[in-house]
Structure 1
Amino acid sequence: MALDRWIALIFITFCCAYGYLAFFTMDQLLPPFMQRNPVWPSTFPKVLSILGVIVGLIVLLGLEKQTDASEPSATEINYRRLHEYKLGQALMLLGLMVAYALALRPVGFLLGTTLFLIAGSAVLGERKWHIMIPVAMIATGCVWYLVQQVLGIFLRPFPFFMGI
């Protein structure tokens, strides 16, 4: 089985587990006044899980591919030439994402996100530090302001030891 079909099978499994949680566990603790609403908190996860299974089945069954092509096109992933792709960059970005998720609370949103954006753009090859650092700081500040002030969701802006 091709790499894309294995990924589709894993995706379908994830969507089935997500759909099980959405259909059978999310709505049990709803208060009585919400049980008569046409849209519940689980409506969007239900739709996402169903659409995910449909898309995964399309890829798994090969319905999106052309039947006359024997060799993969340039836009498809060729698992025989997987060593030619930039897997190092992808793995470093995944490692950065994990480190960012683990460091977000102790370091704070502003410093953690700024460092993640700077390190991520450096991994991807950006070398104009005089542009990269201000853009990361401005983007982080704008996102924090929108989430904290506009949406009213608390994000710890500074490290935990500052106590702010």
Structure 2
Amino acid sequence: MSTISPRKSDMWIGGGLLVFCIVVAWLTLYIKRGMTSSVAGPSMIPWLMIGGIALLSLALIARSIGGEKKGGEEEGISMPDARTLLIMFGFVLLLVAYAAAFYPVGYIPATLVTFVVGLWLLGERRWYILVIFPLVMTFAVYFGFTRLLSVWLP
């Protein structure tokens, strides 16, 4: 099993998050302000998130550049094996498919299928967890948003 030093890991993660912040900041510039007269328009929350992630990624980079561990060698962080990487890739594809199916298929069927497949990818094999838990959670969120908060879900 391969390992990577914590310092190198922090540098890669911090750099990747900074690149992510740059891309998202560029996309946030295209959010239309609409008819609002305040500073707290539709892009306020994305800018807060971008700022927070950027600060935390800079903290990771600063930690990686900072002093070495006292007392000798740093212990390595284990890299995921091929099976774990495949599961992670499958989960990313599942979430992209969920985002694409959310409006055309509707919230309830898209969420139920995504929930069951996601649990299965994470290793759950008990049928009652694969059936009952997604049903209860999906309908609880649906009714919470539609009845309690009056937010429309497709």
TM-score, normalised to structure 1's length?
0.70
Match of 2:54 in 1: 53
Deviation of residue 144 (structure 1)? 1.0
Which residue of the partner structure matches residue 68 of structure 1? 69
Q: Structure 1 residues 13-22 or 129-138, which shifts more?
A: 13-22
CA distances 1:118-147 after superposition (whole Å, capped 9, x unpaired): 111111111111232011111111111112
Residue pairs, 1:13-32, within 5 angstroms: 13-19=19-25, 29=33, 31=35
Q: Relative to structure 1, is the Cα distance of residues 45 and 141 closer, same or farther in structure 2, using a 3 angstrom cutoff?
A: same
Please give the root-mean-square deviation of Cα atoms over the aligned residues, in Å.
3.0
Give the SS at the match of 1:100.
Answer: helix
Equivalence for 2:98: 100
For the residue of structure 2 that corresponds to 1:62, the secondary structure is helix
Deviates more, 1:58-67 or 1:126-135: 58-67
Structure-1 separation of matches of 2:47 and 2:65:
24
The answer to whether residue 154 in structure 2 is matched with residue 151 in structure 1 is no
Does the CA-based 8 Å contact 1:58-1:64 persist in structure 2?
no
Which residue identity does 2:60 align to in structure 1?
Answer: V
Task: Give the gaps of 5 or more residues in structure 2.
Answer: 1-6
| 1:41 Cα deviation from its structure 2 partner | 4.1
Counting matched residue pairs gives 146
Contact preservation (8 Å) 2:8, 2:64? no
1:34 equivalent to 2:37? Answer yes
Structure number with the bigger relative contact order (C-alpha 8 A, sep ≥ 6) is: 2
1:92-121 Cα offsets, whole Å, 9 max, x none, are: 111111121122222221111111111111
CA change 1:124–1:7 in 2 (3 A) is same
Percent of matched pairs sharing the same residue: 23
Maintained 8 Å contact 1:19/1:50: no
Tell me what 1:120 maps to.
118
Quote the Cα distance in structure 1 between the aligned partners of 2:152 and 2:94.
23
Match of 1:8 in 2: 14
TM-score under structure 2 normalisation? Answer: 0.74
Q: Do 1:118 and 1:132's aligned partners in 2 also have CA atoms closer than 8 Å?
A: yes
- Unmatched 5+ stretches in structure 1: 157-164
AA in 1 matched with 2:108: L
Equivalent position of 2:4 in the other structure: none
